Every structure is written in C-alpha cells, then in structure tokens.
Structure 1
Amino acid sequence: MATQFGDKIRLIRINQKMLLRHVASALDIDTALLSKIERGSRVIKKEQIPLIAEVLKTDKEELITLWLADQVMNVLKDEKMADEALKTVSKNIKKKN
C-alpha cells in the first residue's frame, strides 16, 4: 500500500538524483528496508524522520505531517465513522491549542 510519506521521500530522492543505496547508507539502514518504506510496506519510527529529512535536505515538519497522516489513515481506513472521528479529534486539538 502506497503511503504519502513513502511517496514523498521517493520523489525527493529521485528529484535529487540520489540512489536508493546511497540514501540507505546515509541512514545506516538496509537498501531493501528503505525500498519497503518508500513502497509503504514498512513504517519507520517517528524518531527516524529528522535524520531522513537531513539526508534528503527537506522539511522535517512536512515529513512528520505526512507520517502522521499515514498513521491516522491506517487506523481509520475501514471505519464508517472515520470522518466524524476526525472532526471530533480536530475539535479537541483546537481546544488544547
């Protein structure tokens, strides 16, 4: 399953003409693992995002936002009441801020 996060890092990597093996090496992970992350078959830990942003010279906040969106989508994708749940969460977040 494709993910917004995986699609974004693949696009950035390709646009910068960086090879999968070079990025994986800079992240100190296996090339196969990075490929799985880009395809959305593996999820990275949130703590790893700043390093990916640094290696790809891109915006950390954008990557975190996409990663979070993927996490929410994974939980809610098959729920009939997903929209209502998201509205409630959004309202509660706004109240806290």
Structure 2
Amino acid sequence: MPDPAPAAEEPDEDPQETATRLLERALRLGHDKNDDSEWLHSSAVKTHMRRMDPSFSEKALGYRSFNDFVKARESIAELEESGHERLVRLRE
C-alpha cells in the first residue's frame, strides 16, 4: 500500500515576486522618509532592500546589475539615468 500523501506544504514563493515586493516596499519607505523628492538614488534603494532582506541579490536572480533588475520591473518602478546618477521612483 502506498504511503499517504504528505500534508500539503505551502509552495515556495517565486524569488522574483519576493524581490519585486521587496523593491516596492523599499521605494515606499524611501518616499515616506524623503518627502522633498519622489526620486531616490538607486544605490540607497538597494542598500535599504539589503537591510530588509540580507539575502537579496540581483545577480542570484539573473540580473547583471541592480539597474537591470529595476528596469525589469518597469510596471512598479521608473529608472532615470542621467550622467553618473541613477535615480528610481515608484510608479503610481
């Protein structure tokens, strides 16, 4: 007689979705703290994301850079690249 099926476990969450939600949270928190500008430095956003989830790595998700990671989420974030500055903001 076959073993009974194991109790249904929660399926592991898609790491891409987890990272997208983390980006969105970091942008919302950054905007809340920085009322004078809706644009945030992408490096500050990445630092904030790493504080919230030390396991975050855009490279582990298959992106060459953090900017590539943000560009892939254009439905929630907008990237502004001018000169050496990389700014990101939440799309509303």
TM over 0.5: no
* Larger radius of gyration between Structure 1 and Structure 2: 2
More helix by share: 1
Structure with the higher fraction of residues in strand conformation: 2
TM-score, with structure 2 as normaliser: 0.29
